[in-house]
Amino acid sequence: MNRIFSKSRLSLYYLLILLTAACSPARHWVTDPEAAGLYETDHLVLFRTPDRLILMLDNEQTSPALTLSLKEGFLEARTVDTDARFDKGSFHFKDRVRDRCRDLQIEEFSTTDHAVLLTARLCGQYDLRLRFSATDSLTLEVAAELLGEHPFDQLILHCASDKNERFFGLGAQYSEYDLKGHRVPLWVEEQGIGRGDQPITFFSNFYGAGGDHFSTSAPIPFLLSTRRRSFELGGSSRMAIDLRKKDEIRLEVFDSQLRFKVRQAGLPADLVAAHTREAGRGTPLPDWVFGTILGIQGGQERVLGKIDSLEAAGCPIDAIWIQDWVGQRQTSFGSQLWWYWEPDSSRYGDLSQFCEDLAGRGIAALGYLNPFLVDHGPLFDEARERGYFVKRDDGSDYPIEATGFSCFLIDLTNPEAFTWFKAIIRTHLIDNGFSGWMADFGEWLPTDARLFSGIDAARYH
């Protein structure tokens, strides 16, 4: 078997670990070479001491990619009762831990060209399989899975950090930049009104909409570290990253499988580039995105009047955003959009001509869309008749209370509903000349809904 690691490099790594151990104030380092095991693959070396696993990639970084404690047990399984409450796009989870196990006993190590494999037991009775693999010198992949019957529905991996390591990322985080010292849940929901600031959050929570410091509609399980490494959690279950302890990173998933990647590189930009190579990158944005975009409502006459006035005053206009292209109606909350995705000719006349005229003036037209329909008109009747809405457990359509009215969510796991809604977008937005639109309300799928595909709604959310 060909190995990328040279013997001299392995010796250097091992010597480095021993020297670090000798100089470290930490009590748990073991410096006896006879007590340590070494497991090597093409791009990865795993050192085992009686009280820890040290994983190093074949790159220029001198620090381990990952260090896991055997003494305290680096993997924890929990049985959790969860009460989930949903209010207008905000979710409130109350987790009660009924049982936990962190007694980890490793039974066997083995290697392949690219991976070190471990079999282990939790609490002496639950089988566990772990895989540490590296197909290049940049990325360590870790997979842990509980096997057979077990009572657990949450896995937590504990790995070493230090007091000087700082963390950034995890998607759109509005309240905190440096995430050290915080537990950050990764769940798509409304950002919240108040987000923990008082008294506005207190009053917003009468409607369940207050949120907290980490409520976000765009979480991304990508964590960037000042130690020139990144963590990327995989899977689609509810998860969190806990950075409250100064010397520990906790990766939490509400699942019986846990998958993540640790990457190392010399520059943060290299870590981000490696992440987006796999996760995907957006296409380049058009030039008008970087100009002046005005949000105006009220119909064609009012919009054109505002444009004329601003241009006469010398204000450049690159795009206008007209949310009310579908019309407005009065509810108990006031004037709100019709969530019914056809143009309102009483407001914008021939919408296609209106957008074309704007384009002739160098102005892009933007609209608004979400995956709900209100009980109104042929589109709603067609969707209901064909069974395109998200269901309740009893098979009936799931009504969702928005602010001031009820609506129904299109089940995009249904291929026919997906194609149908896609045709609506093409016909009424793209073909009418919109250059883009706000794609709203990706947060509102209830966790207790029943979906066409059979996938668990909480996981699909």
Are 275 and 226 contained in the same domain? yes
Take residue 200 and report the two structure tokens written for it: 């506005």
- What is the rounded CA–CA span in Å between residue 360 and residue 355? 9
Q: Are residues 267 and 121 in the same domain?
A: yes
Say if residue 226 is in the same domain as residue 177.
Answer: yes
Residue 335 gets the label, from left (phi > 0), alpha (psi -120 to 50) or beta, of beta
**10 found inside a domain:** no
357: left (phi over 0), alpha (psi -120 to 50) or beta: alpha
| 30 belongs to a structural domain | no
| Cβ neighbours around 25 below 10 Å, total | 5
Assign residue 315 the CATH number of its domain: 3.20.20.80
Q: Is 163 exposed, middle or buried (0-12, 13-18, 19+ CB in 10 A)?
A: exposed
Q: In terms of domains, do 261 and 322 share one?
A: no
Residue ranges of E strands in 166-297? 167-169, 183-186, 222-225, 229-233, 239-242, 248-253, 257-264, 293-295
Quick one: 325 and 196 in the same domain? no
Domain count, the chain: 2
Is 155 a member of any domain?
yes
Instruction: Tell me, yes or no, whether 443 lies in a domain.
Output: yes
Last residue of a domain, one of 232, 251, 279: 279
Does residue 265 sit in the same domain as residue 327? no
The two tokens of residue 157 are: 């991996």
CATH number assigned to the domain comprising residue 243: 2.60.40.1760
What's the average pLDDT block by block, 10 residues per block, for the chain (461 residues)? 48 53 40 63 92 93 94 95 89 94 94 93 95 94 96 97 96 94 96 88 82 93 97 96 97 97 96 94 93 95 96 96 91 79 94 97 97 93 97 96 89 98 98 96 94 95 90
The reply to whether 52 falls in a domain is no
Domain range for 410 is 287-460
pLDDT of residue 12: 54
The radius of gyration computed from the CA coordinates of the chain, to the nearest angstrom, equals 27
Of 40, 36, 39, nearest to 50 (Cα)? 36
In a shared domain, residues 242 and 341: no
Tokens of 310: 């601003």
Residues 261 and 342 in one domain: no
- 115: exposed, middle or buried (C-beta count within 10 Å: 0-12, 13-18, 19+)? buried
Inter-residue contact 231 to 249 (CB < 8 Å)? yes
Query: 165 and 260 share a domain?
Result: yes
Kindly state whether residue 162 falls inside one of the protein's structural domains.
yes
* Cβ-contact 170, 219 below 8 angstroms: yes
Amino acid present at 282: G
pLDDT at res. 404: 78
Final residue belonging to a domain, choices 257, 279, 301: 279
Cα–Cα distance measured from residue 330 to residue 147, given in angstroms and rounded to the nearest whole number:
55
Q: Quick check: bond before 33 cis, omega within 30?
A: no
Tokens of 285: 């944005």
Name every residue whose Cβ is closer than 8 Å to that of residue 262 and which is 6 or more positions away in sequence: 65, 66, 139, 140, 142, 229, 230, 231
pTM of the predicted protein model: 0.88
Q: Are residues 234 and 316 in the same domain?
A: no
Taking CA atoms, 411 is separated from 311, 384, 451, in Å, by 43, 11, 7
In a domain, 16, yes or no: no
b/e code 72-108 from CB counts within 10 Å (16+ = b): ebbbbbbeeeeeeebbbbbbeeeeeeeeebeebeeee
**∠ CA 166-189-420, rounded to 5°:** 130
One domain for residues 294 and 202: no
The residue among 226, 255, 262 whose CA lies nearest residue 240 is 255
* Three-point CA angle 12, 14, 16, nearest 5°: 70
Rounded CA-CA distance 357/349 in Å is 12
Quote the pLDDT of residue 16. Answer: 54
Alpha-carbon span 338 to 326, nearest angstrom: 6
Tell me which residue of 370, 389, 375 sits closest to 443, measured CA to CA: 370
Kindly state whether residue 156 falls inside one of the protein's structural domains: yes
Distance (Å, rounded) from C-alpha 350 to C-alpha 169? 44
Among candidate residues 222, 244, 279, the one where a domain is terminated: 279
Q: Are residues 189 and 90 in the same domain?
A: yes
What is the pLDDT, as a whole number, of residue 30?
40
Alpha-carbon distances, residue 88 vs 129, 264, 329, 331 (angstroms)? 40, 40, 20, 16
Whole-number pLDDT of residue 129: 97
Residue 1: the pLDDT is 40
Sign of CA dihedral 52, 104, 234, 78: negative
